[in-house]
Amino acid sequence: MNPLSSLFGLGVRVRNALYDRSLARAQRLSGPVVSIGNLSVGGSGKTPFVLLLGELLQVRGLKFDILTRGYGRATRGVALVDPAGSPRDFGDEPLLIARRLNVPVIIGESRHAAGVLAEQKFGPQLHLLDDGFQHRSLARDFDIVLVTPEDVRDRLLPGGRLREPLTSLRRADAVVLASGASPEAFPLDQKLVWRARRGIVPIDVPVRPVVFCGIARPKNFVAQLRTAGIEPVAEAVYRDHHAYTDQDIRDLLDLRQRSEANGFVTTEKDAVNLGGYLAALSPLAVVPVKMELTDAANAVDTMLTRIAERRSQP
């Protein structure tokens, strides 16, 4: 193992031990907290799952808000996301969530401080904690962790993408098997095991598109397009959370001309980061990612029941 990964793993174990033994205490909010997280850095489908869970809660008429860090923003502190705002101020994923779900999204390095602001403005309703598995300073009532097949073969940071070892799944209440992950590959013990399938919804895609994106696992997006019968004539890949510039737009237009493409295809997150550049790339197909949860109604019932039981305990 990479010696730096070993050192990173030691730090993770020490930090978790402090919380497990109550030597470090998590702060609580008045409303219940449901954490959605993963083991790796990006690309497991956390944001699509937050959107899915939000939609399932909305169908039941339950009020909730989203607490998130606001990764990639140029600002600091706690703030309520303005859906009409910019990724520079709020981060691309918080904006995407706010626009899709039309619920309060509060960003902050301290998710407890974000939750306090949420409760001041909207009352102690249900909080969905985005990317919260490692954010142990905020107590949660239910922990959901997404895993992918890549997690089994991966290594700890910085030699790999894992933020925690697979054994950390023992803290989870429910483990979501995403992207075809096999339950036999993970130490699930007696955890709730949910299965999720992630796909794309391509609509009005140009016949000969240039595909471009700045996401954690761009190869997966291109593979999904090909599975849907969409064959790119050219590709452009940027870093995750990429903020597009004038030069990027010129490069993409030049790539379209050189490849004799007749349009562009990108992701919802990239559309948020394009902002005012969207019109310059017309025709542009923005392809949403949709996640489906097997036996979703039963999963949500189980989650809400466990939360109610835990909240009723002294």
Q: 131-156 pLDDT, tens per residue?
A: 999 999 999 999 999 999 999 999 99
Instruction: Check residue 1 and give its pLDDT.
Output: 64
Do 39 and 188 sit in the same domain of this protein? yes
Chain mean position to CA 41:
10
pTM: 0.95
Consecutive 10-residue averages of pLDDT for the chain (314 residues): 88 95 96 97 90 98 97 95 97 97 98 98 98 96 96 94 96 95 90 93 94 94 94 97 97 98 97 96 95 97 97 86
Domain that holds residue 42: 3-198+292-309
DSSP 218-230: HHHHHHHHHHTT-
Helices (H), the chain: 3-20, 46-59, 87-90, 92-101, 111-122, 149-153, 218-227, 246-258, 268-274, 296-312
Q: Count of domains in the chain?
A: 2
Q: 208-264 pLDDT, tens per residue?
A: 999 999 999 999 999 999 999 999 999 999 999 999 999 999 999 999 999 999 999
What value does the CA radius of gyration of the chain take, rounded to a whole number of Å? 20
Within a domain: 51? yes
Cα 133 to Cα 33: distance, rounded to the nearest angstrom: 12
The tokens for 186 are 């993970």
CATH number at residue 207: 3.40.50.2300
Cα 104 to Cα 218: distance, rounded to the nearest angstrom: 29
Within a domain: 38? yes
Do 228 and 303 sit in the same domain of this protein? no
Do 139 and 235 sit in the same domain of this protein? no
Task: Give the H or E element holding residue 79.
Answer: strand 79-80
Do 75 and 209 sit in the same domain of this protein? no
